[in-house]
Amino acid sequence: MGKPTGPIGHIAIDAMGGDLGPAEVAAAARLALDDPLLQSDLILVGQPDVLGPLLTEHGIASHPRVKILAASEVVTMDDKPLQAFRRKKDSSMGRAIELIKTGEAGAVVSCGNTGALMAGGAIRLRTLEGIDRPALGAVVPRANGYFILIDAGANPEAEPLHLVHNALLGSHYARVILGIQNPRVGLLTIGTEEGKGNALSNATHEMLKRCGEVINYVGPTEGFQVFTDHCDVAVCDGFTGNLLLKSWESLSKFFTNTLKAELKANPLRMAGAVISQGAFKAMKARINPERYSGAPLLGLKGNVLKAHGSSNRHALRYAILAADKVIRADFLGQVSRDAVRINALASAAPIVAAEQENPVSAPASDNASPSS
Amino acid sequence: MGKPTGPIGHIAIDAMGGDLGPAEVAAAARLALDDPLLQSDLILVGQPDVLGPLLTEHGIASHPRVKILAASEVVTMDDKPLQAFRRKKDSSMGRAIELIKTGEAGAVVSCGNTGALMAGGAIRLRTLEGIDRPALGAVVPRANGYFILIDAGANPEAEPLHLVHNALLGSHYARVILGIQNPRVGLLTIGTEEGKGNALSNATHEMLKRCGEVINYVGPTEGFQVFTDHCDVAVCDGFTGNLLLKSWESLSKFFTNTLKAELKANPLRMAGAVISQGAFKAMKARINPERYSGAPLLGLKGNVLKAHGSSNRHALRYAILAADKVIRADFLGQVSRDAVRINALASAAPIVAAEQENPVSAPASDNASPSS
């Protein structure tokens, strides 16, 4: 399951979701097929009377590597996750996920309702042997490259072992998507000294230290290190991860908007901005979210990639290419093999922690400063 | 305690801490005294043989509004918080905090070891009646203004009532420092629909809804809303808050460095950047952390302001002016009056929550997406 079905894999695309609708999905399919890197075939799942004309429009109606699978219903952004699957038996999202279950597709890509995709993926596919719960990954630009943030929002509460699983899933995803052979894994916490985080991060730290055979754990990662070249996989629970990721997007917008407003404040500044516009374009390309818009729901018995709801054709194209990479790299097989080992390592006898100062009545983190 | 002692207040300044040392503190004292807004007198606490010549250098050795209080020892950045206070009985930080306890000063400003300041403040001053624990505030720029993030790192674990206290402390600090009469309080969480966060945020949400008489609660705030004009006080636990704040600082540096590198990539871009340099200066001023570098440790029986360890004279000047505002506004009296009311409201019978879909076996947050 999840491996290429035959000489090449198949990617099931939920063609009805997303803010921009099926027209953008069809355009993305064309872009992906034109990309020499794509090795998988595409199965667009949705309403044939809608999709047919769109494929014709993009010149891929009779393309040998595209087919349409009929699904009459659409999960909307307003649908509640579980209801979407219980009530809409013939949804494009549900049918796409089923193609993974039957082995007809090696991955599914959707820019539809995230909660529904997570619920549907978890219920229909279940998790890989040894992995308790799925986690959302996200690829984020930083100095000298990119890192994987995991969990970016699948599970708001977590136990230490879940974070260890996130570390494993994130490591393999970094190998496949970022091409990093031995990705450095950091545990997001406050205070780089041992024992300075919260109960969850401290317990996870102890577990991760025992998993050196499988995970290249580089230790606690503080907030100020996140956008430096410090780690390739940043591990946290889904509550923290989602707040971090979305607030970073919010800050980037604030930063960009403020800069734009200042550059437009008078004719002189505008003239300068026109002259140096290459810098702004390069900057935009550098931190372009389209390039890595496929947030994978990792840990399931099947590759499920969530693209941003507002994904345009370019963002979707990259999500399709990411799915292709994940299929070809046998991501699921790699995780499955390591999951058994990591569970044994994580549950081994704990290494005795170094003695620490642990004040009772006072907040005493040397590193909990917002400012030092 | 904490109120102005006489017609004007006194600010105790730990003059020996900080990365830039006492010379920068002396320079900041001069800048603050030159500021017509400053109404309090200054007490510089530290080694007289070091401070004396520095005050002479800045022309304030015999200034009527400055005096030196001798303290022979210095808490270093490497000192462990509790040890710093147990072993260094005559530290500048410890003596400065004592001036609050004795009523000789209405506030203390330090750019020294954060953990030691928090531990010392909590142990020597204790918390205000009705407030369980102190919290660190931080002023952060966003669209159309600034907001207070609280707790920015004092307590990595929190109970719902602690977050309600953070909401109260943050509200009064926003009034004093940002001049907002009825600050909007948002609870940082994932998913704006009720019941979509974690156990802590959901329980806190229920409590905050009952505190409308005292707190202008505008509901859950998602990450993507943080840098929009959505709330004036963003409430969270210290683990989340510290990771958020430090990662924002890290992202800002990454953003700025990337932009600088792109603008320097070739002569044309450099020329354009010179022409529009006013925009970059304005941008820097807009998001200037110096302006709000005093992170208050709120909730203690005394006003304790932590300035960034690397604070320069300008940042320290603003921290001193913030301390002055806090003293004059009787921040402590205001919080004390409301703390009793808010504890009664928060512990009142809960309002029955609306029925929600709450899947058991699946991750099902509609809003937990990193990307939608």
Cross-chain Cβ contact B243/A244 below 8 Å: yes
* Chain A residues whose beta carbon lies within 8 Å of the beta carbon of residue B255: 252, 255, 287
Contact check, Cβ <8 Å, A240/B242 = no
Do B273 and A277 lie within an 8 Å CB cutoff? no
Q: How far apart are CA A297 and CA A135, in angstroms?
A: 6
- Beta-bridged to residue B153, according to DSSP, are none
User: Among B269, B286, B370, whose Cβ lies nearest the Cβ of A136?
Assistant: B370
Contact between A63 and A52 under an 8 Å Cβ cutoff? The reply is no
Which chain B residue's Cα is nearest to A132? Answer: B361
Q: Please tell me the least confidently modeled range out of B235-249, B270-284, B340-354.
A: B340-354
The answer to whether A1-131+299-330 and A138-289 have equal CATH topology is yes
Instruction: Report CB contact under 8 Å: B249, A359.
Output: no
Q: How far is B347 from chain A (nearest CA, A)?
A: 24
pLDDT at residue number B8: 64
Contact indicator for B127, B32 with CB cutoff of 8 Å: no
Structure ipTM over 0.85, yes or no:
yes
**pLDDT tens-digit series, residues B280-297:** 999 988 877 666 777 899
What number is the average pLDDT over the span B47-53?
97
Higher pLDDT, A356 or B112: B112
- Which of these, B138, B121, B129, lies nearest to B241 by C-alpha position? B138
Q: Rounded to the nearest 5°, which phi and psi values hold at B91?
A: -80, 155
The answer to whether residues A109 and A12 touch, using CB atoms and an 8 Å cutoff, is yes
Q: Do A240 and B245 touch (CB under 8 A)?
A: no
Q: Cβ A368–B115 below 8 Å, yes or no?
A: yes
Residue with tokens 């930080």: B93
The amino acid that residue A55 corresponds to is L
Q: Encode pLDDT of B18-29 as tens digits.
A: 899 999 999 999
| Six-digit token string for A74 | 């659409």
Residues in B touching A119 (Cβ below 8 Å): 359, 362-364
**Chain A residue with minimum CA distance to B134:** A363
pTM of the model: 0.90
Contact A222 B123 (CB under 8 A): no
What is the C-alpha separation between A29 and A318, in angstroms, rounded?
Answer: 10
Q: What is the distance in angstroms between the Cα of A92 and the nearest Cα belonging to chain B?
A: 18
What's the CATH number of domain A138-289, 3.50.90.10, 1.10.940.10, 3.40.718.10, 3.40.50.740? 3.40.718.10
Q: Tell me the shortest Cα–Cα distance from B201 to chain A, in angstroms.
A: 10
Contacts of A363 in chain B (CB under 8 A): 115, 118-119, 122, 133-134, 154-155, 238
CATH class of A1-131+299-330: alpha beta
Q: What is the pLDDT of residue A147?
A: 96
Question: Which residue in the set B153, B226, B282 is minimally distant from A369, CB to CB?
Answer: B153
Question: Are residues A245 and B251, on separate chains, in Cβ contact within 8 Å?
Answer: no
The answer to whether the Cβ–Cβ distance between A364 and B118 falls below 8 Å is yes
Q: In chain B, what are the domain boundaries?
A: 1-131+299-330, 138-289
Q: How many helices (DSSP H) and strands (DSSP E) are in chain A? A: 12, 11
pLDDT at A169: 97
Instruction: Give the residue from chain A lying closest to B258, CA to CA.
Output: A283
Span B188-216, average pLDDT: 88
d(CA B299, CA B137): 10
- For β-strands A66-70 and A107-110, DSSP reports them as unpaired
CB A369 within 8 Å of CB B119: no
Contact B306 A123 (CB under 8 A): no
pLDDT at B226 over 50: yes
Cα B22 from Cα B40, distance rounded (Å):
20
Helix axes B238-263 and A238-263, enclosed angle (nearest 10): 40
Contact list in A for residue B240 (CB cut-off 8 A) is 239-240, 243
| Rounded Cα distance, A13 and A44, in Å | 5
Low-confidence ranges of chain A (pLDDT < 70): 1-8, 192-195, 289-291, 349-372
User: Percent of chain B having pLDDT more than 90?
Assistant: 79
Fill in the amino acid letter for A15: A
Instruction: Give the whole-number percent of chain B exceeding pLDDT 70.
Output: 89
Q: Residue B6 above 70 pLDDT?
A: no
Question: A333 is written with which tokens?
Answer: 């097989």
Highest-scoring range by mean pLDDT, B11-15, B153-157, B252-256? B11-15
Contacts of B359 in chain A (CB under 8 A): 81-82, 119
What is the pLDDT at residue B233? Answer: 98
pLDDT of residue A289: 67
Q: Which residue has the tokens 């994987």?
A: A148
At residue B225, the pLDDT reads 96
- Which chain B residues are closer than 8 Å to A225 by Cβ? 250
Chain B residues inside the 8 Å CB shell of A360? none
pLDDT given for residue B289 in this prediction: 66
How near does any CA of chain A get to the CA of B64, in Å? 32
Taking the C-alpha atoms of residue B213 and residue B341, their distance in angstroms, rounded to an integer, is 9
Beta strands at A145-150 and A233-235: parallel, antiparallel or unpaired: parallel
- List chain A residues with CB under 8 Å of B138: 370-371
Q: Is B362 in contact with A119 (Cβ distance < 8 A)?
A: yes
Which strands make up the sheet holding B294-298, listed edge to edge?
Answer: B66-70, B41-46, B10-14, B107-110, B303-307, B294-298, B135-142, B145-150, B233-235, B184-188, B216-221
Q: Which residues of B touch A263 (CB under 8 A)?
A: 276, 279
Q: Which two three-digit tokens encode residue A109?
A: 């890509």
Mean predicted lDDT score pLDDT of chain B: 89
B80 with A113: Cβ contact below 8 A: no
B329 class by beta-carbon count within 10 Å (0-12 exposed, 13-18 middle, 19+ buried): middle
d(CA B212, CA B231): 15
Q: Answer yes or no: do A363 and B122 touch at CB < 8 A.
A: yes
**From residue A256, how far is each of A283, B194, B260, B276 by CA, in Å?**
10, 31, 14, 15
C-alpha–C-alpha distance, residues B306 and B109, integer Å: 6
